[in-house]
Structure 1
Amino acid sequence: MKRFFLTPFLVLFCFAALAQDKSLLELKYEENYTPTYNEVIEMYQLLDKTYPNASLLEKGKTDIGKPLHLFVINSEPVFDPQRIREQGKSVLLINNGIHPGEPAGIDASLQFADDMLRNKNKMQKWLENTVIIIIPAYNIGGLLNRSATNRANQSTPYETGFRGNAKNLDLNRDFTKNDSENAKSFTKIFQEWNPDVFLDTHTTNGSDHQYSVTWIPPFPDYFPPAQEKFLREKMLPQMFEKMKKGEYALTPYVNWMHRDPKKGIQMWQDAPRYSSGFASLFNSYGMMTENHVYKVYSDRVKSCYEFICSLAEFTFENSEGIITSRETGIEELLSAENYPLSYEVDTTKYSTITFKGYEASDEIIDKVTGLPRFGYDRTKPYSHEIRYYDVYNTVEEIQIPEYYILPQGWKEVIERLKLNGIEFYAISKDIFFDVEVDYIDDFGGPPQPYNGHYFHNKVTTHSEIQNLKYYAGDIIIPVRQKKIKYILEILEPKAMDSFFRWNFFDSVLDQREYFSTYGFEENALKYLESHPDFKSKFLEKRNSDPEFAKDHRAQLAYIYNNTEWAEKTCKRYPAAKIFKKFSENELKSF
C-alpha cells in the first residue's frame, strides 16, 4: 500500500497519530497469547493505514499460497529501496516467525513498530539515517498450523505454530538451497533491499540459565578484516552494554563445549543455510536472538523487544560506520588471493565473561519417571566467571579463481545465481578452455534425508587441468564482483553449504558407461597390444599380486579404469575454474 504524496489531511492526521500515547494494537503477550497469522497482518494493516511513513508491502508468494509481507518504516513516505540507498541511509531487516513455535519476535516486532511510529521515548530519531523493514511472519504455513501441542518443551504461549512450513521444510535450513517459495521471496527482498544489519528472532530450549534472551552475533571470522574489527570493537561490546542498561541482560548463546556452561562456551558458527549465515555471504551483519523457552512468555517478548530497540539504536548511532565497513570489507575480499572454506575453534584464545546459570547435575530426579537425569537445579543459581571462546582458525582455504564456468544444463543452479543477482556472461559460440576441474574422491552423509536432501557432510576432492569444450549458452561467472562470498560459498564443492553438498550436482556421481566381463575382452586386448608400456605395467601387477592374478574382473577393471576407456566425466564437478584474467572485450567475444 504505497503512497506517492501526502494530502493536507494526511499531514494533520500524521501529527495527530504521533502525538497519541496509547498503543493502537491489542497485544496480549502478558496473557500468554500470541496473535494468529490473520491478527498479525490485520495489526500491520492498521499501522499502515494510520501512519503515512509506514507501508505494508506484498513481496512474493510462500508455499502455502499466501503472500510474504514486508513492513517498511521510514522517516518519510518513501518506500523505494533504491531511493533510500541514494539518501545514504542504512537498512535494518528483522525477520520473525521462521519457527512459528517461537513467536516472541512476532509480538516484540509488533510492539516495536507501534512504539516507533507513535514516537514513544523519541524513538523516531533512529529513522534519521536508518530504515527499518520487518517481515511480520516468514513461515506462514507453519503459523497457520496452530495448536496447543506443537511444542512439547514449552507451556506458554498456550497456542503456537508448527516448525515445518507448508512443504514440511525447516525454513532455517533453506537459505542457500532455496527449495521453498518462502526462501525465494525472502531472497528477492534481501537482494532488493541489501540490508546492512539483519536480525532473525528465535527461541531456544538449550541449557537452563538465568537469562531471558541470548544472542548469536555475526560470526567475526567470516568477515574480512575491516568488518571483523568493526564487530569486535564496536557492535559486540556496545550491544552487550546497551542491554545491560535495560531490564534484561544479554549473554552469548549458550553453545556449550560440555553440558555444564561453567566449563566454557564457544561462539556459534552459523552456516549459510541459516538466515544469519546467509546474510554474511553478502557482508551483511546477520544475527539471531534466542529467547529462553523456560522463561514466562511476557519476559521472552519484552527481552526480545529490548534487543530490537538496542539494535535499532546501535544502527542509528553507527550508520555511517556500518555502511563504510561493509564497503571496505567487500573491497578487501575483491583483492584477496585466498578464501577460507572451513574453521575450528581456537582453544588457546578466549575471553572471560560473567555467566548467571544454575548448577548442572546428572542426579536430577525426573518427576515423571522417578529416575535420575541430567538437568539444571534452579534452587542453586550462581554467577560465575567462565571462558568464552570466540576466535576460530582457518582449517582449509582455496586460491580464488578469476572465473567459474558452468554448462547451461545446470538450470536450477543458474536460476539461483540469477535470484541472488550474480552477474555472468553467456558464451556465444562453441569453444575450448583450459580449466581446473575438481573430482569428487569421497562424499558421505546421513542415511536419512535432512530437510529434503541427503546432505554431503564429508567431501574430499582432487584437481586436474583439462582442456574442455564448452557450448554456446554455457556461462562464465566472474568471481571478483561484489557478491564474491556468495559465489565462492555455493560453487566451491567443499564449502560449508555448497550446491554440491545440497545434491544439486549429484548426477555427476553416477557412472554412465560400463564394461562387460566378456564384451570388453577384445578391446582390452587391442589396447594392451598397442600400448606396450602399459602392458608391461599390467603384467608386472599380475605377477606381483596373486589375488589380482586370480581375479578376472579385477584385471579387466584395472585396464578399464587406468586407460582412456575410463569416463572423464564421472565424479567431475561441473563448475570448473579459470585463473587467467580476461579483458571485457575477450569475455564478450567468447
Structure 2
Amino acid sequence: MFAFLPLATIAHQGDLTLVYERSGFLDTGSYAEAVWFCRRLSDLAPKRAKLISFGTSPEGRDMVALVVSKDGEFEPEQLSKSSRPLVYIENGIHSGEIEGKDATLILLRDILVGKKHEALLDAANLLVVPVFGLDAHERSSKYNRINQNGPREQGWRASGQNLNLNRDFIKADGGEMRAMIGLMHRFRPDFCFDNHTTDGANYPYQLHLGIPHWHTLDAGVAAWAAEMERAVTAQLEVDKLPNAPYFEFVGGSGAPEKGFAVDDFGPRYSTGYWAAMNRPSMLVETHMLKPYKERVDATYVTMVRTIEYVGAHAKELKAANAAADAAEASAAPGFKVTLTSHRTDAKRPFVFRGYEYKPYKSEVSGSMIPGWSDKPVEVKTTLLDTFEPGLTIAAPDAYAVPAPWVEAIDRLRLHGFKFSVLKTAMTDEFDAYRLDEVKFPTEPFESRFMPTYKAVAIRERRTLPPGTAIVPAAQVGLKLLMQMLEPAAPDSLAAWGFFNVVFERKEYFEDYAMEPIAAKMLASDSALKKEFEERLRDPAFAKNPRARLGFFYDRSPWADDHLNKYPVVRLDAKQLQVALGG
C-alpha cells in the first residue's frame, strides 16, 4: 500500500515544490510553472533528463517534453535501441482535468531528485508532456468544470482554436496536435498514458481505466495489454485504490441493475490512435467528485504500478510491438486489416460498488435529479466488454492520392507515411469508390461537417496527374494508413470532410435543353424506360418535374462523372510498379 509524504517532509527539496503542494493540495500551477519545473529537473539531473521543445501552440507558447533515461539516452534513435521500453505520459489534453500534470511532476521529482522511485528508471525510459492543451490550460477559471471537485481553478476543455484535442488525432486540425503527432512519430513510444478526470455518477471507485485490447489492435499487442490490465488493476486494489473499467450505464439508464458496457475508441481519440499505431496504452480517468489530492495520488500510484509492470515485462512488450510493426512492413497484397470492433451481446457477471441511489424531485426542471447517500452498496449486475471484428478490408499494394488533394497529402506526411510523387500522368482502370446515399449534418462537429454515405467499390478508368502521392501499403503504420484512406472507416479523412467538395454539383441543365434529350433516351432504351417507370411509383418523384428530368441527366454523357466519386484509388502490384517508374 502506498503512503504519501506530507508537505513538511518534502520541503527539504528546496524550491522544487509546486503550487499544488504549497496551497495544501487545493490549487494547480500555471503552464509556466510546469515548464520551469521540468527545466529545473533537467538542470539538476542532466545525465538522466533532458527538456526538449517540439512545437509552438497556436497562441505562441513553447510545447515541451521531458525525456528521462537512466543511461542519458535522449535521442529517438538511441531510445529505440534500448532494452527498456519507452513510456509516454500525456497530461492535460483536456486541461481542466489536470491531476495528471501534478502527479507526473511529483513522480519525476521523486525519481530524479528524491530517489523515491529511482528504480523505475531500470524499468523504462520516459517521454513526458506535462501539459498538452497548454493554451486551454491558461484559460483558467473557477467556473470551467461544474461537475468537478477541485482544483479551485483549472483550465478549459477546448484549445485556443476551440478544438477538443482528444477528437483530433486523425484529422490533426489543431496546432498542438500537429506538433504532438510529430513527436509521436519521431519517438514511437512502446506504451502510452493519457491522464484525465471522468464525469458521471457518484460511486466509491477512485479510477476508471481504459486499456484497449480490441480487434483494431494487433493481436499480440492486445494479448500483452490484457495481461497487463489484469495485473495492474489487481495491484491497485491492494493499494486501496478501487477501480473499474472505463464503462457506461447500459442505455444511459443510470441504473446499475441494467448493467454496464465498455466501448472501443476510434483513432480520433488518443487510445484509438495508439491502437492504430500498434501500441498499448492506458486511459486514466480519476473520479471527478473525489478531492483533488486523492485524484493526484491515484494517478501517481497508477503510473508507478503500470511502469513497474512494463519494466517487468519489457521483453515481451517490445517483442509484441516489433512483431506488429514487422507484419505491416512486410504486408503482402490482400493483408487483412480490421478497422472497427463491435461489442457483442456476451455478458459477464460484475459486482458494481456504488452508493445508495436517492434521486429527488427538482423544483426547477420538474424532473428527478440523481442523488446518492454515503451508504455503500454492492449490486450484482453484468458487464458487456467482449468485442468482435467489425469492418475488415484487404490492403491494396498502394494508394494513390491525386495531387489536387493537398490537405489529405499533408496529413499523410504529418502522420509519418513514406510515399513517392508521380512524375508523369498515369491513366488506367483503378479500384476506387463511389459514395452513395450522402447526407450532411446541420451542425459542424470539431469544426467540420462530417457526411454519412455508403462506400461502394467500383472499377473505372481514371487519370492520375503528376504530383499524385503514391503510398505503398507495406510500411509500418499500415493500419493507420487504412484508417485514414478507406472511406468506410468511421474516422477516415473522407468521413471527416476532407473531400466534401466531391459532393457538390458544378454544372446544371436547363429544362428546355434536357427535355428533348430525355425524350430520346426514354424512347430508345427499354431498360431505362422500365427503371424510370419504377421510379414514378414514388409520389414525390412523380410530382417533381426537375427530378424527373434529372433522372435522365444523371444517366447522360453530360453528367459529371466525378460527382460523388472518392478521389483516392487503390493500386495493384503492376500499377504500383508503373507509378514508381519501373
Q: Same fold (TM over 0.5)?
A: yes
Contact 2:216 2:339 in 1 (8 A): no
Q: Which residue does 2:223 correspond to in 1?
A: 229
Q: Distance in 1 between matches of 2:423 and 2:106?
A: 55
Match of 2:77 among 47, 63, 82: 82
In the alignment, is residue 35 of structure 1 matched against residue 29 of structure 2? yes
Q: Mark the CA change 1:278 to 1:544 in structure 2 (over 3 Å): closer, same or farther.
A: closer
Q: Which residue does 1:565 correspond to in 2?
A: 558
Q: Which residue does 2:352 correspond to in 1?
A: 355
In the alignment, is residue 321 of structure 1 matched against residue 316 of structure 2? yes
For residue 353 of structure 2, what is the amino acid of its counterpart? K
Match of 1:375 among 353, 370, 387: 370
Match of 2:488 among 475, 480, 494: 494
Q: Mark the CA change 1:276 to 1:555 in structure 2 (over 3 Å): closer, same or farther.
A: closer
Q: Mark the CA change 1:533 to 1:415 in structure 2 (over 3 Å): closer, same or farther.
A: same
Q: Distance in 1 between matches of 2:544 and 2:27?
A: 72
After superposition, the C-alpha distances for 1:337-373 in whole angstroms (9 at most, x for unaligned) are 333343321112x443443212335x3355x859662
* Partner SS for 2:248: coil
- State the aligned residue count: 562
Q: Which residue does 1:50 correspond to in 2?
A: 44
Q: Which residue does 2:4 correspond to in 1?
A: none
After superposition, the C-alpha distances for 1:366-385 in whole angstroms (9 at most, x for unaligned) are 5x859662424233311344
Q: Which residue does 1:260 correspond to in 2?
A: 255
Query: How many angstroms does 1:120 deviate by?
Result: 3.4
Q: Distance in 1 between matches of 2:372 and 2:243?
A: 21
Q: Which residue does 2:360 correspond to in 1?
A: 364
Q: Which residue does 2:104 correspond to in 1?
A: 109
In the alignment, is residue 200 of structure 1 matched against residue 194 of structure 2? yes
Q: Which residue does 1:12 correspond to in 2?
A: none
Q: Distance in 2 between matches of 1:50 and 1:549?
A: 80
After superposition, the C-alpha distances for 1:448-472 in whole angstroms (9 at most, x for unaligned) are 221111223x331212111211122
- Which range is displaced more, 542-551 or 460-469? 542-551
Match of 2:241 among 231, 248, 254: 248
For residue 517 of structure 1, what is the amino acid of its counterpart? D
Query: How many angstroms does 1:535 deviate by?
Result: 6.1
Q: Distance in 2 between matches of 1:589 and 1:226?
A: 37
Match of 2:214 among 190, 215, 220: 220
Match of 1:71 among 34, 41, 66: 66
Query: How many angstroms does 1:252 deviate by?
Result: 1.0
Q: Which residue does 1:284 correspond to in 2?
A: 279
Contact 2:454 2:488 in 1 (8 A): yes
* Partner SS for 1:152: coil
User: Identical aligned pairs, as a percentage?
Assistant: 24
Contact 1:21 1:120 in 2 (8 A): no
Cα RMSD after superposing both structures: 2.7
Query: How many angstroms does 1:541 deviate by?
Result: 4.6
Query: How many angstroms does 1:551 deviate by?
Result: 6.5
Contact 1:24 1:114 in 2 (8 A): no
Contact 1:223 1:329 in 2 (8 A): no
Q: Distance in 1 between matches of 2:535 and 2:247?
A: 58
**For 1:144-155, what aligned pairs fall within 5 Å after superposition?**
144-155=138-149
After superposition, the C-alpha distances for 1:14-54 in whole angstroms (9 at most, x for unaligned) are xxxxx997475213354311111111111112111111111
Q: Distance in 2 between matches of 1:180 and 1:151?
A: 22
Q: Which residue does 1:11 correspond to in 2?
A: none
Match of 1:25 among 16, 24, 29: 16
For residue 357 of structure 2, what is the amino acid of its counterpart? A
**For 1:163-562, what aligned pairs fall within 5 Å after superposition?**
163-232=157-226, 234-257=227-250, 258-332=253-327, 334=331, 337-348=335-346, 350-361=347-358, 363-365=359-361, 369=364, 373-456=368-451, 458-521=452-515, 523-524=517-518, 528=521, 533-534=524-525, 537-538=528-529, 541=532, 553-562=546-555
Contact 2:339 2:479 in 1 (8 A): no
* Partner SS for 2:35: helix
Q: Distance in 1 between matches of 2:143 and 2:535?
A: 68
Q: Distance in 1 between matches of 2:384 and 2:564?
A: 38
In structure 2, the gaps of 5 or more residues are 1-9
For residue 346 of structure 1, what is the amino acid of its counterpart? T
- Which range is displaced more, 511-520 or 63-72? 511-520
Query: How many angstroms does 1:201 deviate by?
Result: 0.7
Q: Mark the CA change 1:92 to 1:339 in structure 2 (over 3 Å): closer, same or farther.
A: same
Contact 1:254 1:261 in 2 (8 A): no
Q: Distance in 2 between matches of 1:575 and 1:230?
A: 35
Q: Distance in 2 between matches of 1:473 and 1:290?
A: 45
After superposition, the C-alpha distances for 1:537-577 in whole angstroms (9 at most, x for unaligned) are 43895699597888654443232122332221000011112
Query: How many angstroms does 1:396 deviate by?
Result: 3.2
Q: Distance in 2 between matches of 1:56 and 1:261?
A: 46
Q: Which residue does 2:7 correspond to in 1?
A: none
Q: Distance in 2 between matches of 1:518 and 1:103?
A: 65
Query: How many angstroms does 1:261 deviate by?
Result: 3.1
* Partner SS for 2:67: strand
Q: Distance in 2 between matches of 1:573 and 1:535?
A: 31
Q: Which residue does 2:581 correspond to in 1?
A: 589
In structure 1, the gaps of 5 or more residues are 1-18
Q: Distance in 2 between matches of 1:157 and 1:541?
A: 66
* Partner SS for 2:410: helix
* Partner SS for 2:195: strand
TM-score (norm 2): 0.90
Q: Distance in 1 between matches of 2:139 and 2:240?
A: 33
Query: How many angstroms does 1:189 deviate by?
Result: 0.6
* Partner SS for 1:388: strand
Match of 1:138 among 132, 135, 139: 132
Q: Mark the CA change 1:550 to 1:276 in structure 2 (over 3 Å): closer, same or farther.
A: closer
Q: Distance in 1 between matches of 2:393 and 2:576?
A: 25
After superposition, the C-alpha distances for 1:235-293 in whole angstroms (9 at most, x for unaligned) are 11111122122132321123221422343222231221111111111111122111111
- Which range is displaced more, 387-396 or 78-87? 387-396
TM-score (norm 1): 0.89
